[in-house]
């Protein structure tokens, strides 16, 4: 049963991150109610529950009962945890939605019927009847809505040249790296990479066993391999490859992201063998880095359903 009351009962909803562990992330929520408005209809105490969802995936729930009201604003503090499994359910929706998420927190007020004088809400001259099978009434409240995005792909893309030298000579140069998402599923998130490589020499350069790793805040989230190829003298080629990010590792990264104040440094490290004039040389540890930030609770205002 819903009890629609005039005015805005929820004055303010604010959120912040609490305890962050490998298994869960705590959301601490502060809800400010207009206690005086509720007291006007003879409601002395309420219960409050809220559900948090990201892109339609319910990730957390919290509730508190028997909250006493006063004539001024009543502040209620709630705590909910996003567990690892729910985070992974959300992650694939985030990637498949272009790294965009809609966060919705739905406060849900309840009033115990034994403590409520139904004659106080006789709006139309007809008193509501008590239903023996119902022991509480739900009070309509607005939702808190926020939208956030990440810039993971932008932190992988680069147009900053990276040279690889050996024996005092530049062997080749990575001119550009582009990236786009594949279709994320329950276990893996593919990233399609285009790597443009230039050979400035008068001789050809061969590439063998070329691989790369993707790290975010020091967590190796995935990687891939590039098939062997030869780059002719003074030529440029674009090599296509698919990196696979493991979702379980994404959950590990999430923990570091929150602990660092929603900051992430992304690093791609290349490793392989370069063959020049019949001589092979191992090149490894060549990498470039970038970073991105988020603010997951920014921009949210109470919004009526």
Reply yes or no on whether the pLDDT at 174 is more than 70. Answer: yes
| 298 in any annotated domain | no
Which structural domain, as residue segments, surrounds residue 272? 152-293
Where is average pLDDT lowest: 22-31, 95-104, 183-192, 279-288? 279-288
Report the alpha-carbon distance of residue 292 to residue 48 in Å, rounded. 36
Kindly state whether residues 114 and 186 are assigned to the same domain: no
Among residues of the chain, what percentage have pLDDT more than 70? 83
Mean pLDDT of 64-93: 88
pTM above 0.85, yes or no: no
pLDDT classification of 71: cutoffs 50, 70, 90: confident
Kindly state whether residues 145 and 6 are assigned to the same domain: yes
Domain end call among 129, 149, 169: 149
Domain end call among 149, 169, 189: 149
Kindly state whether residues 142 and 250 are assigned to the same domain: no
| 112 in any annotated domain | yes
Number of structural domains the chain divides into: 2
Reply yes or no on whether the pLDDT at 222 is more than 90. Answer: yes
CB 236 within 8 A of CB 201: no
Q: Give the distance from CA 254 to its chain's centroid.
A: 8
Length of the chain: 305
| 300 in any annotated domain | no
pLDDT for 200 equals 95
Domain end call among 149, 173, 200: 149
Give me the CATH number covering residue 202.
Answer: 2.60.40.10
Kindly state whether residues 229 and 165 are assigned to the same domain: yes
Kindly state whether residues 111 and 7 are assigned to the same domain: yes
Q: Give the distance from CA 137 to its chain's centroid.
A: 34
Kindly state whether residues 9 and 104 are assigned to the same domain: yes
Kindly state whether residues 144 and 166 are assigned to the same domain: no
Kindly state whether residues 55 and 162 are assigned to the same domain: no
Kindly state whether residues 156 and 92 are assigned to the same domain: no
Mean pLDDT across the chain: 84
| 32 in any annotated domain | yes
pLDDT for 301 equals 38
Kindly state whether residues 285 and 178 are assigned to the same domain: yes
Q: Which of the two residues, 263 and 301, has the higher pLDDT score?
A: 263
């Amino acid at each position: 049963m819903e009890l629609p009351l005039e005015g805005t009962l929820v004055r303010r909803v604010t959120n912040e991150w609490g305890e962050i562990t490998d298994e869960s992330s705590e959301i601490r929520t502060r809800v400010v109610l207009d206690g005086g408005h509720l007291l006007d209809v003879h409601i002395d105490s309420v219960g409050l529950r809220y559900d948090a969802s990201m892109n339609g995936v319910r990730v957390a729930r919290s509730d508190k009962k028997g909250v006493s009201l006063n004539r001024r604003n009543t502040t209620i503090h709630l705590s909910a945890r996003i567990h690892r499994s729910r985070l992974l359910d959300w992650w694939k929706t985030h990637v498949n939605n272009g790294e965009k998420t809609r966060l919705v927190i739905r406060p849900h007020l309840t009033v115990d019927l034994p403590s409520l004088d139904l004659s106080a809400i006789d709006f139309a001259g007809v008193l509501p009847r008590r239903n023996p099978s119902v022991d509480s009434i739900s009070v309509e409240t607005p939702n808190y809505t926020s939208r956030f995005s990440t810039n993971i792909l932008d932190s992988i893309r680069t147009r900053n040249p990276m040279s690889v030298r050996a024996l005092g000579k530049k062997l080749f140069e990575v001119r550009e790296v582009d990236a786009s998402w594949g279709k994320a599923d329950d276990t893996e998130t593919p990233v399609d990479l285009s790597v443009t490589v230039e050979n400035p020499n008068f001789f050809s350069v061969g590439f063998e066993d070329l691989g790369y790793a993707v790290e975010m805040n020091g967590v190796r989230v995935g990687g891939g391999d590039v098939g062997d190829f030869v780059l002719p003298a003074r030529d440029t080629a674009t090599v296509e490859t698919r990196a696979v990010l493991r979702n379980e590792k994404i959950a590990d990264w999430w923990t570091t992201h929150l602990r660092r104040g929603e900051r992430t440094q992304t690093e791609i490290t290349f490793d392989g063998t370069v063959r020049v004039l019949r001589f092979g040389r191992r090149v490894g540890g060549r990498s470039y880095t970038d970073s991105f930030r988020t603010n997951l609770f920014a921009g949210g205002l109470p919004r009526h359903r």
